[in-house]
Amino acid sequence: MLVYKAFFKIIQKNILQILIYIVIFLFFVVLIANTYTDPTNMDFKESKVNTVFINHDEDSKLLEGLKEYISQNANLIDIPDDIQKLQDALYFREVEYIVKVPKGFTEAFMKGEEIRIEKTIVPDSASSVYMDNLINKYLNTARLYISSIENLSQQQLVNYIGEDLSHETEVLLFNPDPEKGKNIRRMYYFNFLAYSLFAILILGVSAVMIVFNQPDLRKRHSCSPLKLKNMNFQMILGNISFAILVWLIMIIPSFIMYGDYMFTKKGLLFLLNSIIFTLPALSISFLIANIVKSKNAISAASNVVSLGTCFISGVFVPRDFLGETLLKFASFTPTYWYVKSNHIIANIDRLKEEDIRSILTGILIMLIFALTALAITMVIKKKKYTGQVSGS
At 250-303, the pLDDT tens digits run 899 889 888 888 898 888 999 999 999 999 999 998 888 888 777 778 778 877
Residue 56 has pLDDT above 80, yes or no: yes
The verdict on 69 and 127 lying in the same domain is: yes
Angle of helix 228-258 relative to helix 2-13, nearest 10 degrees, comes to 50
The larger pLDDT score, comparing residue 86 to residue 25, is at 86
pLDDT at 68: 92
171 lies in some domain: no
170 lies in some domain: no
The verdict on 113 and 243 lying in the same domain is: no
Q: Which of 9-13, 184-188, 222-226, 320-324 has the lowest mean pLDDT?
A: 222-226
Q: Rounded to two decimals, what is the model's pTM?
A: 0.63
28 lies in some domain: yes
> CA torsion angle for 54, 57, 62, 66 (degrees, to 10)?
-10
The verdict on 16 and 118 lying in the same domain is: no
pLDDT at 183: 77
Residue 367 has pLDDT above 90, yes or no: yes
pLDDT at 390: 45
pLDDT at 13: 80
Task: Note the pLDDT tens digit of each residue in 70-122.
Answer: 998 899 999 888 889 888 888 888 899 999 999 999 999 998 888 889 998 88
Fill in the amino acid letter for 131. Answer: M
pLDDT at 141: 92
Distance of CA 151 to the CA centre of its chain: 61
pLDDT confidence band for 386 (50 / 70 / 90):
low
The verdict on 268 and 379 lying in the same domain is: yes
The verdict on 29 and 68 lying in the same domain is: no
pLDDT at 42: 46
State how many domains the chain has. 2
The verdict on 357 and 234 lying in the same domain is: yes
Domain end residue (candidates: 109, 137, 165): 165
Q: Which domain holds residue 293?
A: 2-39+178-391
Coil/strand/helix, residue 127? helix
The verdict on 126 and 242 lying in the same domain is: no
The verdict on 77 and 203 lying in the same domain is: no
Over range 194-218, report the average pLDDT: 79
The verdict on 25 and 53 lying in the same domain is: no
172 lies in some domain: no
173 lies in some domain: no
The verdict on 155 and 227 lying in the same domain is: no
Task: Note the pLDDT tens digit of each residue in 295-346.
Answer: 778 778 877 888 888 888 888 877 777 888 888 888 899 999 999 999 888 8
pLDDT at 380: 81
228 lies in some domain: yes
Q: Which residues contact 208 (CB under 8 A, 6 or more apart)?
A: 7, 10, 11, 238, 289
The verdict on 156 and 130 lying in the same domain is: yes
- CATH number of the domain encompassing residue 120: 3.40.1710.10
44 lies in some domain: no
pLDDT confidence band for 225 (50 / 70 / 90):
low
pLDDT at 111: 87
375 lies in some domain: yes
Q: Which of 184, 289, 200, 190 is nearest to 236 (CA)?
A: 289
Residue 36 has pLDDT above 70, yes or no: no
Task: Note the pLDDT tens digit of each residue in 135-188.
Answer: 999 999 999 999 888 888 899 989 989 888 887 777 665 555 556 667 778 888
Q: Which of 14, 369, 59, 334 is nearest to 195 (CA)?
A: 334
Residue 231 has pLDDT above 80, yes or no: no
Residue 63 has pLDDT above 70, yes or no: yes
The verdict on 198 and 279 lying in the same domain is: yes
Domain end residue (candidates: 136, 165, 194): 165
Domain end residue (candidates: 108, 143, 165): 165
Beta 97-101 vs 49-55: how paired, if at all?
A: parallel
Long-range interactions of 307-312: CB distance < 8 A, separation 24+: 307/195, 307/199, 309/194, 309/198, 309/333, 309/334, 309/335, 309/336, 310/194, 310/195, 310/198, 310/335, 312/336
